[in-house]
Amino acid sequence: AQSVTQLGSHVSVSEGALVLLRCNYSSSVPPYLFWYVQYPNQGLQLLLKYTTGATLVKGINGFEAEFKKSETSFHLTKPSAHMSDAAEYFCAVFTNTGNQFYFGTGTSLTVIP
Amino acid sequence: NAGVTQTPKFQVLKTGQSMTLQCAQDMNHEYMSWYRQDPGMGLRLIHYSVGAGITDQGEVPNGYNVSRSTTEDFPLRLLSAAPSQTSVYFCASTSSGRGTDTQYFGPGTRLTVL
């Protein structure tokens, strides 16, 4: 079975500071990995995804994530936080054997002016 | 394209009532799914469908029924609502259900069961 763990349900950063949101997964087969963002009272929007190939993945709004198989991690980073980045972020995993998406419990990002 | 649409946006039910949450997509996607979102628990899969006439259970299927008679529509039925089903419900679709596809989400239905 697959599972996703997001360390830190709440993260606060100052505007302009590095954003680091942590995601670890458990999967017995090669996973597909995703980060989604959810703004208040909205649905989820895809930030980026890892399928195959290059392990450093760039997404929208300046976010990127690196797939590290040895660490079973897929942490999300952004060099400089903007106020508009304040939202909830979800990591998710999908495998073709499971045929389902599994989501982490989410990390709420607050950006302090 | 309207993408993934959900109706209603808000609903209040009494315990024991039944209702159907509607979900439709106009992208000709084969794979559709229903999630519920609860504080501190992220999104949990209720049911999913890999094509018309084919449905399967997710992580939390109890108390919910689905059917998929057309590619476009994937309604979620609550047969006898319980307070534990108070949640925000999201419908989502992907073109084929492979992990390489992007999953598109609807705006959600906020359900309260009294």
What is the pLDDT confidence band of residue B13, given thresholds at 50, 70 and 90?
very high
User: A48 to chain B: nearest residue by CA?
Assistant: B102
Instruction: Please give the torsion angle defined by the CA atoms of residues B9, B40, A10 and A60, in that order, rounded to the nearest 10 degrees.
Output: -50
pLDDT at B6 over 80: yes
Q: Please say if the pLDDT value at position B12 is more than 90.
A: yes
Smallest Cβ distance to A99: which of B42, B97, B103?
B97
Query: Quick check: B99 and A96 CB within 8 A?
Result: yes
Whether B105 and A94 lie within 8 Å, measured CB to CB? no
Q: Which residues pair with B65 in a beta bridge?
A: B77
Token pair recorded at residue B73: 């529509």
pLDDT (0 to 100) of residue B101: 82
Q: What is the pLDDT of residues A10-44, one digit of tens each?
A: 999 999 999 999 999 988 777 899 999 999 888 89
Helical ranges in B1-114 per DSSP H: none
Question: What phi, psi does A30 have (nearest 5°)?
Answer: -55, 130
Q: Is the pLDDT of residue A69 over 80?
A: yes
Interchain pair A43, B90: CB under 8 A? yes
Taking an 8 Å cut-off on Cβ atoms, the answer to whether B99 and A31 are in contact is yes
The pLDDT tens digits for B31-88 are 999 999 998 888 999 999 999 999 999 989 999 999 999 999 999 999 999 999 999 9
CA–CA dist B83, A113 (Å, integer): 39
pLDDT of residue B54: 94
Q: What is the DSSP code (8-state) at residue B63?
A: T
Per-residue model confidence (pLDDT) at position A111:
97
Q: Which residue in chain B is spatially nearest to A31 when comparing CA positions?
A: B99
Interchain pair B40, A105: CB under 8 A? yes
Q: What would the two tokens of residue B61 be?
A: 């299927």
B9 and chain A in contact, CB less than 8 A: no
Calculate what percentage of chain A has a pLDDT beyond 70: 98
pLDDT for residue B53: 94
Closest to B91 measured CA to CA, from B51, B50, B39, B36: B36
Q: Are B74 and B66 in contact (CB under 8 A)?
A: yes
Please name the helix (run of DSSP H) or strand (run of DSSP E) that holds residue A49, with its range, or none: strand A44-50
Output the pLDDT for position A94.
87
- Quote the distance between the C-alpha of residue B33 and its chain's center: 6
- A99 vs B33: CB contact, 8 Å cut-off? no
pLDDT digits (tens, 9 = 90+) for A46-60: 999 998 888 899 999
SS3 B83: helix
CB A107 within 8 A of CB A21: yes
With beta carbons under 8 A apart, name residues in chain B contacting A31: 99
C-alpha distances out from residue B70 to A100, B27, B65, Å:
21, 13, 16
pLDDT of A96 above 80: no
3-state SS assignment for residue A60: helix
CB within 8 Å: B103 and A34: yes
Taking CA–CA distances from B3, the nearest residue in chain A reads A43
Q: Is A17 exposed, middle or buried (0-12, 13-18, 19+ CB in 10 A)?
A: middle
Tell me which chain B residues have a C-beta less than 8 angstroms from the C-beta of A46. 102-103
